[in-house]
Structure 1
Amino acid sequence: MKKYLINVLLLLLVAAFTQCKKDEYEVIKLTKMITVEQMRALPVGLTKATETKKTGKIYIYNDYLFINEPGEGIHIYNNINPNAPVNTAFIQIPGNVDLAIQNNILYADSFIDLLAFDISNMNSIKQVKRVNDVFKQVYSAGVQKYLFYTKDTVVKKQVYKGGVVNDIAAYSSSSSQGGSYGQGGSMARFTLMNDYLYTVGLYELGLFDVKNASNPSFIKSINLGWGVETIFPYDNKLFIGTNTGMHIFNATDAANPVKLSTYSHIFACDPVVVQGKFAYVTLRTGNNCRQASNQLEVVDIEDPTKPKLLIAYPMQNPHGLSVNGNNLFLCEGNFGIKSFNITDNKAIGNNMLQHLQNIKSFDVIAGPKSLIVTGDDGVYQFNYSNASNLRQLSLIKVQK
């Protein structure tokens, strides 16, 4: 701990020095391996509001918008007026990727642990529980007790053989549906239903009893096979998107979800949302998604034990999506965001209502106050009362 504090002070001194000589220093992302003990010694908790540098998962709860900054923590915005969201606080959570909220308790991952925070008073958010060692897939390359930790690090620029390299040695840190739920996006890996928190990792479904919201307890994990990506709750069922298809679980007995079926497709990235007797699935190329085409699939789940493809529509590069009534909103990555009328599922391709091409979009939530869209530039909010004429209300910009 002493060594950690010394290094933190060194970083602060370097940062102060760069105010005078900005051209000699820069900030880089430094990744190193740390022990579990070092990870649990990293600072966690409420800090003053900070500007968002990168957007991750989004979540809405009451009048607040929560924006995950991958690996760093969660930004909190008072969103009572979507025209002018107010940056109110930041919860520092190293290794954080996902979140979910029930009854004023926020659940978030921190590398291999689950943390619970009481957010009933937004001016005094407190950590109330840490559940250790429940997300074991985060261990680096399967090596127990070591993790990869990435943080901003101030370094001095050096000229070497005609180029610029980073002198990282001197300045590296040694830290070497009952209940009151919120709403997440289609890319979520955390979800809440019937007083249980469900989480998905690369290959498993995790179950946590949250009847006592401030005291979550890990129950068990269920192996799902490799390539698990997203989870979506609907009508006492869990719809789990994977690289190769969609698993459907009956969660009527919340502590013992039972697999009903698997809808299979070729290898692709696969978020899913559900409304009524239909599931909407996007498949795309790019990154690790070795899909031969980009498309939106409509799956008939009237009989959840026998899901079947109803129809597929070609898209450009579909990512997250959200359904609200007769409308579907679909993120097209670098190609913008689209809205569709889905009254006739067999004619969605002919019923595109609008295409905003100048917004890089990753995920979307059709919330009670606004359509919330996250992308490289930041988090947009739109009035979507007329899905044919989305009207921008605000933009929370990413400070790159």
Structure 2
Amino acid sequence: MKKNLINAVLLLLVFTVFTNCKKDEYEMIQIAKRISVQEMRALPVGLTKAIPAKRTGKIYIYNDYLFINEPNEGIHIYNNTNPSAPVNMGFLKIPGNVDLAIHNNILYADSFIDLLAFDISNLNGIKQVKRVTDVFNQLYSAGAQKYLYTYKDTLVKKQTYKKGIFKDAAYSSNSLSQSSSTGQGGSMARFTLMNDYLYTVGVNNLSLFDVKTASNPTFLKAINLGWGVETIFPYESKLFIGTNRGMHIFSATDPANPIQLSTYSHIFACDPVVVQGKYAYVTLRTGNMCMQASNQLEVVDIEDPTKPKQVAVYPMQNPHGLSTSGDHLFLCEGNYGIKSFNIANKIKIGNNMLQHLINIKSFDVIAGPKSLIVTGEDGVYQFNYNDAANLKQLSIIKDQL
């Protein structure tokens, strides 16, 4: 009965959209289609020719390569040796994929409820080396039989759908490099690597995988964190986990047995976090799945990780992902652009904005070794950020909607 009701609502939505609408009023979104686990595992996986992305999700850099997730479809691979002219090399098709991390030439990616591992030592001949099944079980639908959801493109009226809703609900994730053998992701990541362990967060847990043998990831356990888990960020043998009610701090000194040190609580809000030195930077925003919140940047003193304390709060417009580099912080403001700040003085950050690019709708950002990489509504931008007060656009990889 419940399934029939859901299908009826979806059909009514589609019918409503296609009646009394002009063509220029449409835009493409993805709606869910239920399939069985057996059908899911029979879907094709692997390297295909280079294609443009219809939409972009998580971003990840590894050596001279840029990996761009297309939510629920797979990963676009670019040679980014020259950030002014990235070269589209191929597409790694992975149904149900929203996040990734790379360690010792092994790429880890989710495929619905499974973790897949790929050998990318030869990017022209990427090979799947392992599938770890049933490790992201929060994606199961209710009922005795296990079902999942794939997504198909559908036209809807523009005013009925605001881009970003699905990104918050399903696509948010990040990680940061801890060694030359590991890549770097953004602040919205749900996958990260540290000390030969892969850590992933779902909506209510932290999962651990042993990747000492990179091509043979082994699931160890899942730690319940309560509802609303969104992002994970590693720093100096600690894991900083953003939730919609606060930030958990875990010690990973024993990487196979992370121990919770504290929780920094705030009002209900979407919550990515990055860390530099003895400070954590947290953004909170309204809209989408994050109701009854404020739009602000919080600075948290974590010198004593068992007793995090707020240092300062700065009002923002609609902050999303963020990244730091030296004395500079780069902050995505969603539909309101991207901002750069001098953060040398923690209690005057609000007075030290260096630049505000208002024409870029930004979701997440990585301050990489060669460029500032920004993902937004219409594609992935790269900037020269040698002068944080004068960001210079190098290139854009545009979505093909």
- The 2-side partners of 1:225 and 1:60 are apart by 30
Amino acid at match of 2:32: T
How many residues of Structure 1 are paired with residues of Structure 2 in the alignment?
354
Report if aligned partners of 2:284, 2:293 keep a CA contact under 8 Å in 1. no
Q: How far 1:29 sits from its partner (Å)?
A: 4.3
Q: How far 1:291 sits from its partner (Å)?
A: 3.6
Tell whether 2:41 aligns with 1:40.
Answer: yes
Q: 1:116 to 1:226 in 2, by over 3 A?
A: same
Q: How far 1:32 sits from its partner (Å)?
A: 1.7
TM-score, normalization by structure 2: 0.86
Aligned ranges for residues 88-99 of structure 1 at < 5 Å? 88-99=89-100
Partner-residue secondary structure (3-state), 1:386: coil
Report if aligned partners of 1:179, 1:195 keep a CA contact under 8 Å in 2. no
Report if aligned partners of 2:57, 2:70 keep a CA contact under 8 Å in 1. yes
Amino acid at match of 2:322: L
Tell whether 2:210 aligns with 1:209.
Answer: yes
Deviations 1:296-327 (A, max 9, x none): 00000000000010010000000000011000
- The 2-side partners of 1:194 and 1:384 are apart by 30
Tell whether 2:293 aligns with 1:292.
Answer: yes
Aligned ranges for residues 262-277 of structure 1 at < 5 Å? 262-277=263-278
Report if aligned partners of 2:79, 2:88 keep a CA contact under 8 Å in 1. yes
TM-score, normalization by structure 1: 0.86
Kindly name which structure, 1 or 2, has the bigger radius of gyration based on alpha carbons.
Answer: 1
Q: How far 1:150 sits from its partner (Å)?
A: 1.1
Q: How far 1:31 sits from its partner (Å)?
A: 2.8
More displaced stretch, 326-335 vs 31-40 = 31-40
Aligned ranges for residues 15-94 of structure 1 at < 5 Å? 29=30, 31-94=32-95
Aligned ranges for residues 71-150 of structure 1 at < 5 Å? 71-141=72-142, 145-150=146-151
Report if aligned partners of 2:47, 2:126 keep a CA contact under 8 Å in 1. yes
Q: How far 1:144 sits from its partner (Å)?
A: 5.0
Aligned ranges for residues 1-400 of structure 1 at < 5 Å? 29=30, 31-141=32-142, 145-152=146-153, 177-178=178-179, 180-400=181-401
Alignment correspondent of 2:19: none
Partner-residue secondary structure (3-state), 2:350: helix
Report if aligned partners of 1:102, 1:181 keep a CA contact under 8 Å in 2. yes
CA RMSD for the aligned pairs? 1.6
Alignment correspondent of 2:162: none
- The 1-side partners of 2:348 and 2:139 are apart by 42
Q: How far 1:179 sits from its partner (Å)?
A: 6.3
Report if aligned partners of 1:319, 1:333 keep a CA contact under 8 Å in 2. yes
Segments of 5+ residues of structure 2 without an aligned counterpart are 1-22, 156-177
Partner-residue secondary structure (3-state), 1:95: coil
Alignment correspondent of 1:165: none
Amino acid at match of 1:35: S
- The 2-side partners of 1:291 and 1:183 are apart by 32
- The 2-side partners of 1:251 and 1:197 are apart by 12
Report if aligned partners of 2:33, 2:152 keep a CA contact under 8 Å in 1. no
Report if aligned partners of 1:322, 1:364 keep a CA contact under 8 Å in 2. yes
Deviations 1:252-286 (A, max 9, x none): 10000000000000100000000000000000000
Alignment correspondent of 2:164: none
Segments of 5+ residues of structure 1 without an aligned counterpart are 1-22, 156-176
Q: 1:384 to 1:146 in 2, by over 3 A?
A: same
Q: 1:383 to 1:244 in 2, by over 3 A?
A: same
Deviations 1:156-189 (A, max 9, x none): xxxxxxxxxxxxxxxxxxxxx3561000000000
Amino acid at match of 1:78: N
Alignment correspondent of 1:171: none
Deviations 1:189-238 (A, max 9, x none): 00000000000000000000000000000000000000000000000000
Report if aligned partners of 1:210, 1:216 keep a CA contact under 8 Å in 2. yes
Report if aligned partners of 1:267, 1:291 keep a CA contact under 8 Å in 2. yes
Partner-residue secondary structure (3-state), 2:38: helix
More displaced stretch, 315-324 vs 285-294 = 285-294
Partner-residue secondary structure (3-state), 1:34: strand
Q: 1:117 to 1:342 in 2, by over 3 A?
A: same
